[in-house]
Structure 1
Amino acid sequence: MVWREGAGLFAVGVQWTDKARAMIAAREYRYISPVFPYNAVTGEVQKIVGLGLTNNPALPGLANLAALSAKPADPARLLASARDIEIFNRVFGQFGQFHPDTPAETIAALSTPPAKPRFPAGLEQTDPKGAEALRRLAPGAWED
């Protein structure tokens, strides 16, 4: 992966199969879709494990694969909404890559490790099964 200022995050050194290369050239598939496990609570991406060809990308603002080899990206098409920037930063921020329109104070806040959550006071007495379920979901994460 490489960050290109003004254009975004790109996968480099991808080795497409002959069939995939032909489908991209024929515009049968136009985008990539990254595959990654993430933390369901924070939305933090754990790692990128692969990517697939698709015509319906889940992430907004992806460049058309066939167009990438034809001409440089049009900066006017790179304008992103606040939500697009937020999603981009949640997905790639943990790798140190932030959207170029992200303010410095936001980058600083996103770079700060999250505080350890506090175990809800009194839950043990009122809902012992709920307390045990929380401990099983995130062992060692809750302070007593």
Structure 2
Amino acid sequence: MTTVSPHRPARRARHRPAQVLLETVLTLTGAGAVVGGLLLAVRPDGSLLAADPQVLRGTPFDSWRAPGLLLTTLVGAGFLGTAAALHLGHRHARRLAIAAGLGLVAFEAAEFGWLGFQPLELVFAAVGGLVAVLATGSEGSS
């Protein structure tokens, strides 16, 4: 039989809806970035995601491998690690979430600078902004 310590509330009981939303956005975005980035790295011609290699002309990249690895590590691992830190109640998790959200906005701005406008850049920049706002708005709520 499992008992809950009277000195520590059950994990779900202390998570407010804003934190659950933040953790969910971080987890889904991070998982998507890992999958998408790995698909680009495995097939650097972009064929697994219908990513046109011609888009890379004039960029520092000659294939989708490096952008895929950057997506996997910076966005994917960063967002998943941040979600885990929040879930575990790490004391700096909110600051980390703000940094991760703003980091995604910066990542998309760099992508825009290298590749020109792609609709998904706007979507993911908005996701990064949402993460930063949710993390800021729920300071002290965990």
Larger Rg: 1
Greater helix fraction, Structure 1 or Structure 2: 2
RCO higher in structure (CA 8 A, sep ≥6)? 2
Give your verdict on TM over 0.5. no
- TM-score (normalised: structure 2): 0.27
Higher strand share: 1
What TM-score, normalized to structure 1?
0.27
